[in-house]
Amino acid sequence: MLINNKEVRLKLIPLKTISKKAKTGYSKSNLVLMPGFTEVPDPLWVEIKEKFRNISDAVKNQKIVEFKAKIKEIEVVAEDGKKKKVTESKGPKFQDLKEADAIAVINDTWKLATLKTFLKSEKRTDIRTLIEERISDLKNKKGVFETKKAADNEGTE
């Protein structure tokens, strides 16, 4: 799922309390949500929202947006055997986005690892070129200072 952190600060989420099942395919001990987009496996994101109230509150307040996600409530059996309702979120994979959405995501992604993940799965030549340019710009710090300056001045007018 594509997660858009709309705040101008990163969020560090420790994953030591997350189940192994939810972390399948994700080997890091922390999840870092930088401003902009980060790709997070759907099961991992669902459990993070359940366990971290500050994250679920940020989602409710639109400070963190689940990009193009289909959200529904489902009933599951908890560890204590009781049924409980949880919110299930399923988001599209980057390579399944329409071109305009893909371009918007690329332009608002600041994490090199996320861009490299996009590049591995993307087949469209034009989109691959944009990802490669974005990676190069971030490595060369193009646009970084302008964006930081704009963020610093946000709300001062």
Instruction: Give the three-state DSSP class for 66.
Output: strand
What token pair was written down for 92? 């599209």
When mean pLDDT is compared over 14-18, 34-38, 91-95, 141-145, the highest value belongs to 34-38
CA 80 to chain centre: 31
- Tell whether pTM > 0.85: no
pLDDT in tens, 35-78: 999 988 888 888 888 889 999 999 999 999 988 777 777 777 77
pLDDT, the chain, mean? 81
- Distance of alpha carbon 37 from alpha carbon 44, whole angstroms: 16
Delimit the domains of the chain by residue range: 1-92, 95-157
Quick one: tokens of 135? 């990676």
SS3 for 76-98 is EECCCCCEEEEEEEECCCHHHCC
